A = this chain, B = another copy of it.
Amino acid sequence: MYISMSRLRLPVAQVPELLEAFRNRAGLVDTAAGFVDLEVWHSDRDPGEVIMVSRWRRRDAFTRYMKSDDHKVSHARITPELKAVISLERLDHLHTYDVVAT
């Protein structure tokens, strides 16, 4: 199994809008080959931090989705105003991991 973790930082005032966007997401990824699940985590210590974690059967399923039209469509649903206030958190923006134990 393969994990992609995107760590996002944004002003606390815009966090509810981002979480609402995730709750109302198009769900296109759900039908992508090799997709397992997606969770969005909100830090309880640092309210401007939101983490998106998606799990995949294998790495190539993830990389294929990232190049897909479905991925472009999903991102296009986020308003430019919201995109403008979201920044990458250090190098943690996009980390990928193998799941080695459960």
Q: Which residues of A contact B (CB under 8 A)?
A: 3, 19, 22-23, 25, 37-46, 50-51, 59, 95-102
**A-side interface mostly:** strand
Cα distance A9–B96 when bound, in Å?
16
Partner of A44, one of B19, B23, B39, B97: B97
Copies in the complex: 2
Cα distance A46–B94 when bound, in Å?
12
Cα distance A102–B37 when bound, in Å?
7
Partner of A100, one of B42, B45, B46, B98: B42
Q: Are B98 and A44 in contact (CB under 8 A)?
A: yes
Closest to A52 in B: B101
